[in-house]
Amino acid sequence: MTLEQQDKQYVLQTYARDYTNFVKGVGSTLYDENGRDYIDFASGIGVNSIGHGNEKLSSAICEQAKNIIHISNLQVIEPQAKLAQKIVELSGYEMGIFFANSGAEANEGAIKIARKYGETKFDEKRYKVITLEHSFHGRTITTVKATGQESFHTPNFSPYPDGFSYEKSIEDVYSAIDDKTVAVLIELVQGEGGVQPFEKEEIQKLATHLKSKDILLIVDEVQTGVYRTGEFLASNLYEIEPDIITLAKGLGGGVPIGAVMTKHKEVLVAGDHGSTFGGNYLSTAAGLAVLDVLKPMYESGAIDETLVYFSEKLKHMAVKHENLFEKEVGLGLMRGLRAKSAEIQGRVLKNALTEGLVVLKAGRNTVRFLPSITISKNEIDEGFKRFEKAISSL
């Protein structure tokens, strides 16, 4: 039985998989079972923030696994407390943190905090959450409903929870607010929705308005967080102070972890929320190692240097191949090329893999690039050489 046959027989087919079998990774280079190398411009959809085979991360995981992998949240967990402190200090916000296992779970936690805030802080209950079209917030029943893409709201999984609405733009949010609105949930750069950043000024104006109305601002930083946009949080880059922030993806460097952080630390009390695996020894030890790698890179300017170098290469591609791409989009190391059609997007992805380059798709016909934050200039150069080959025949 081949690996493809095994997968198709025993694994639920919820993904349109490619069957390249990667067996090893070094930095931002992957190797398949035949020893062929691929430049990784996807990093596991923004998860492998410090690349593959990082010594500091693998050592931290191994050392922790020799001692304790997991107990439960009924006891204090030292690396969890240390990671919470480190995240709070790096964020610059005075917040408390709840650890989960994924971005969807982090967003579920954020919605629960908002709903309880709306129940306990006002004479009349507030529960409505406004999100934006083209947003993506997860795959659970609640976070699918919070996602502003109708294609996710199929009748197959209905009925969905009430209390969510979607607006076309930031400007439309103002008129959508009513006396039942408790929160606005946004991504500062819409990832699945086409790697589309919002303007800094419009976000700052919205944040000020929501604060004046005592409406919570929830920022989904599942993809933008942990230096992906150049700062520790995209919220730092936009110079705002959200009420609630969610993290996941790059925080564990490949080990599943999610986090919801809030300045309203008094809202959730014992018994309100929980997670069996969330914030266990292994995941938080991994998170500490990831931050130990990235923080010095940020402070030295190495992250800025990498994102500028990558951005210049991508802009060159957009200009040179304007017959294929409308424009280059994104921030930091969360980038995209907006293809002129879905057909072009599909062919680019297929050809790239044939040439030994892993890239991603996103909405609005976007070819998405999420390289590891530790990617080298040589790997960037080689990746774009292969990308050039991939699109030369289109």
Q: In terms of domains, do 321 and 272 share one? A: no
Domain count, the chain: 2
Q: In terms of domains, do 62 and 118 share one? A: yes
Write down the pLDDT at residue 394: 87
Q: Give the domain range for residue 46.
A: 3-54+300-333+352-373
Both tokens of residue 172? 């439309």
Domain annotation covers residue 385: no
Name the DSSP class of 274. -
Question: What CATH number has the domain bearing residue 316?
Answer: 3.90.1150.10
- The full DSSP string for 159-201 is SPPS-EEEESSHHHHHHH--TTEEEEEE-SEETTTTSEEPPHH
Cα–Cα distance, 106 to 248 (Å, whole number): 7
pLDDT in tens, 121-136: 999 999 999 999 999 9
Write down the pLDDT at residue 243: 98
The answer to whether the CB of 90 falls within 8 A of the CB of 83 is: no
Write down the pLDDT at residue 15: 94
Beta-carbon contacts of residue 82 (< 8 Å; ≥ 6 apart): 284, 288
Name the DSSP class of 276. S
Question: What CATH number has the domain bearing residue 194?
Answer: 3.40.640.10
Q: In terms of domains, do 328 and 265 share one? A: no
Write down the pLDDT at residue 340: 95
Write down the pLDDT at residue 188: 98
Long-range contacts of 121-128 (CB under 8 A, 24+ apart): 121/214, 124/179, 124/180, 125/180, 126/179, 126/180, 126/181, 126/182, 127/163, 127/180, 127/182, 128/163, 128/164, 128/165, 128/178, 128/180, 128/181, 128/182
Q: In terms of domains, do 249 and 319 share one? A: no
Name the DSSP class of 52. B
Q: In terms of domains, do 39 and 62 share one? A: no
Segments of the chain scoring below 50 in pLDDT = none
The residue behind tokens 């943190």 is: 97
Domain annotation covers residue 159: yes
Cα–Cα distance, 81 to 83 (Å, whole number): 6
Write down the pLDDT at residue 393: 86
pLDDT in tens, 205-241: 999 999 999 999 999 999 999 999 999 999 999 999 9
Cα–Cα distance, 77 to 226 (Å, whole number): 22
Q: In terms of domains, do 13 and 86 share one? A: no
